[in-house]
Amino acid sequence: MLPFFGLTPEYRAALFKQIHEIVFHGQGGYDFMTVYNMPIWLRSFTFRSIQEYYKEQKKEQDKAMTNAKSKQSIPKSTYSVKARR
């Protein structure tokens, strides 16, 4: 039985996880009370924006890693040194 007012345990956990993610990945730009008191629409927008930013960063990092690996796998040109006679 749910109390008349309050959040379900699942919603409460999701809310605090979202607040944590914004505060942590906001790199000091947000504090807990500011995010907690944000309107829901603004908190959701902020969360999605940070999520998209980090997804794009990961995509660029993966692309750079792939390029670095492909450059490493290219065999270096070999040359021969003639012996003195």
Render pLDDT for 36-63 as a digit per residue (tens, 0 to 9): 999 999 999 999 999 999 999 999 999 9
How many C-alpha atoms does 78 have within 13 Å on its Cβ side?
2
> Given a cut of 80, is residue 84 above it in pLDDT?
no
Does 39 fall in a domain? yes
51, 63 Cβ separation under 8 angstroms: no
Q: What is the mean pLDDT of residues 14-21?
A: 95
Q: What is the mean pLDDT of residues 67-75?
A: 73
Task: Tell me the whole-structure pTM to 2 decimals.
Answer: 0.68
Number of domains in the chain: 1
> Given a cut of 60, is residue 6 above it in pLDDT?
yes
Does 77 fall in a domain? no
* Domain of residue 55, residue span: 9-65
The pLDDT of residue 75? 59
